[in-house]
Amino acid sequence: MRVLTAAQMREADRITIEELGIPSLVLMENAGRQVVAAIEALFPNLESRRVAVLAGRGNNGGDGFVIARTLLERVVEVPVFVIGSLSEVRGDARHNLEVLGRLGASVVEIADEQAWELHFSEISQCDLVVDAIFGTGLRQALDGMYPTIVGDLNGSGLPVVAVDVPSGLLADTHEVQGEAIRAAVTVTLAAPKICHILPPAQRVCGELVVADIGIPEAIIERLDGPYVEVITRGVMRSVLEPRDPEAHKGEFGRVLIVAGSMGKSGAAHLAAMAALRSGAGLVTVATPRSVQPILAAMAPEYMTIGLPEDADGQVTPDAIERVLDTASDVIAMGPGLGTGPGVRAFVHGVMERVGVPIVLDADALNAFAGEHARLLAGRDGHDVIITPHPGEMARLLGTTTEDVQRDRVAAARTFAEKHQLHVVLKGHRTLVAAPEGTIAINMTGNPGMATGGTGDVLTGVIAGWFGQLLDAEGASRLGVYLHGHAGDLAMADLGEAALTASDLLTYLGDAVLELSAERTSKGDDHDE
């Protein structure tokens, strides 16, 4: 499901209106009626309720006037307030304001703070408030009387249904600058925007409903510019289905895991088992010689290779040849490798000559921190996927974790485009950035997964699918989706605190079965 910017939304509106010929009034009518449909679904026995509609002076307000008219048809008391001066209402909004007038509806103008204070008590007697003050047209943080209005509404305890965007949020950013409506429900039009998907803004949107107002999906899919999309179950099902049964699954399933060091054998084990549980045909773990017998004892399913090591039990550059000579379709390198100087030289050496697609994680990424980052580049035919957590991303970018977290989309997209590789930026709502700048946002997973080893599992899951699909973007998105989904299934049984990385291995199968199952009941809201 595409996530649009305000500009892309306006462009989709424009194409629909000017090229396709659906009048903007029809879009506004659809918008208003879809919001009412959502209200009726979420707030029963509407007929006995009083619903206050607060309308701004732009088209968001226009939606509000349509909503008021539609609610009036359901014999609901609907006091309408224009927030701003009536004279400034223009165009489609003006048209719908005049229609309301002809129906005899009372519209009260609230042009300043005094008027607000005067009418707020009447509004607070209502059961529900429709926020149609600002939508995607908001250009900067609220000022003037608006912060007071938003603050009073947020403090009133009244449920608010936000039209398109909770007023005060800027559609294109996940940040909350100044006061913003805390909505019980946000009914956004045609497609979600960044503010609905990424925290902290996402947290004030309440339940998100994406309303179809008549803008064809094809128009949205065709908008230019690197796009952002939500990883949905529907899209993941298509990735999972064998496009051509003979062409993959098993033929390319040889995964080489280069991981582990003295005291960190578990990371290698978790990555290897995750690859096996993701359908990899053959998994080999290449690990320092003194760690090899320990790993060999941990599981019969994968093979092991002992690598030249230093006194600390970490790989050295002498191990490069051994890794490059081992047949594999995909390599996953990094979990538990350690951070000694020999490790960095080893990682650089492998990267310079590797001939197969590679997933880099953890210590393999730390080897490229700062000035070494320029060595990290994808080459045609040898896709590179990196799976940094915010701290590792910061080291690769030569910046701070706070900077990365302040604008995760920019951090992931910048590095992916500059180094022509795939970035899986982990964290709440993990992002998957492709070299051409597209961003996919994952909605599965939970805080219980912030526990040791879950990153090693993700590396193995991505490598396991990568070896079968040989499509870096598909494997990254599917891996992140299934990893989080397994975590959600595990949490449902075990709770957040008890959840361990090994539990993810146990639930990966269920996650795949659930994904490939035909859904009978309505799925989660990111279903399609």
Interface with ligand NAX (CB under 6 A): 13, 24, 27-28, 31, 56-63, 134-140, 142, 163-165, 189, 213
Q: Residue 142 binds which entry of K ion, ligand NAX, none, with Cβ cut-offs from 5 to 8 Å by kind?
A: ligand NAX
Residue 148 Cβ, how far from ligand NAX at the closest point, in Å? 13
Residue 370 in contact with residue 395, Cβ under 8 Å?
yes
List the structure tokens of 334.
């990094």
Torsion of CA 78, 81, 87, 92, to 10 degrees: -50
Residue 205 Cβ, how far from ligand NAX at the closest point, in Å? 13
Distance of alpha carbon 296 from alpha carbon 3, whole angstroms? 46
Where is 110: in which H helix or E strand? strand 107-110
224: CB partners within 8 A, 6+ apart: none
Residue 93 Cβ, how far from ligand NAX at the closest point, in Å? 7
Q: Residue 189 binds which entry of K ion, ligand NAX, none, with Cβ cut-offs from 5 to 8 Å by kind?
A: ligand NAX
Contact residue for K ion among 13, 131, 179, 456 (CB under 5 A): 131
Distance of alpha carbon 516 from alpha carbon 325, whole angstroms? 36
Q: Residue 167 binds which entry of ligand NAX, K ion, none, with Cβ cut-offs from 5 to 8 Å by kind?
A: K ion
List the structure tokens of 206.
């309440």
Distance of alpha carbon 142 from alpha carbon 151, whole angstroms? 11
- Range in contact with K ion (rule: CB under 5 A) among 33-41, 126-134, 140-148, 239-247: 126-134
CA 346 to each of CA 255, 315, 361, 363: distance values in angstroms, whole numbers, following the listed order: 19, 7, 14, 11
Q: Residue 131 binds which entry of ligand NAX, K ion, none, with Cβ cut-offs from 5 to 8 Å by kind?
A: K ion
Tell which residue, 290, 285, 264, has the closest CA to residue 274: 285
Burial class (CB in 10 A: 0-12, 13-18, 19+), 44: exposed
Pick the closer one to ligand NAX by CB: 61 or 453.
61
| 154 is a site residue for K ion (CB under 5 A) | no
Distance of alpha carbon 166 from alpha carbon 185, whole angstroms? 9
Pick the closer one to K ion by CB: 131 or 309.
131
Q: Residue 59 binds which entry of ligand NAX, K ion, none, with Cβ cut-offs from 5 to 8 Å by kind?
A: ligand NAX
Query: Is 173 labelled as part of a ligand binding site?
Result: no
Query: Is 214 labelled as part of a ligand binding site?
Result: no
Pick the closer one to ligand NAX by CB: 137 or 216.
137
Instruction: Name the region of 168 (left: φ>0; alpha: ψ -120 to 50; beta: rest).
Output: left
Query: Is 63 labelled as part of a ligand binding site?
Result: yes
List the structure tokens of 429.
């709502």
Residue 63 Cβ, how far from ligand NAX at the closest point, in Å? 5
Residue 171 Cβ, how far from ligand NAX at the closest point, in Å? 8
Distance of alpha carbon 413 from alpha carbon 431, whole angstroms? 9
Partners of 296 in the beta sheet?
A: none
List the structure tokens of 402.
């706070």
Interface with K ion (CB under 5 A), residue total: 4
Query: Is 196 labelled as part of a ligand binding site?
Result: no
Q: Residue 160 binds which entry of ligand NAX, K ion, none, with Cβ cut-offs from 5 to 8 Å by kind?
A: none
| 136 is a site residue for K ion (CB under 5 A) | no
Pick the closer one to K ion by CB: 151 or 391.
151
Contact residue for K ion among 167, 186, 328, 366 (CB under 5 A): 167
CA 320 to each of CA 33, 286, 295, 309, 342: distance values in angstroms, whole numbers, following the listed order: 64, 11, 20, 11, 11
Residue 441 Cβ, how far from K ion at the closest point, in Å? 22
Please work out, in degrees rounded to the nearest 5, the angle formed at the alpha carbon of residue 433 by the alpha carbons of 248 and 438: 95
Query: Is 481 labelled as part of a ligand binding site?
Result: no
- Range in contact with K ion (rule: CB under 5 A) among 117-125, 159-167, 349-357, 432-440: 159-167
Binding site for K ion (CB under 5 A): 131, 162-163, 167
Binding positions: 59-63, 131, 135-141, 146, 164, 167, 267, 336, 389, 426-430, 455-456
Q: Which residues are annotated as a binding site for AMP?
A: 426-430, 455
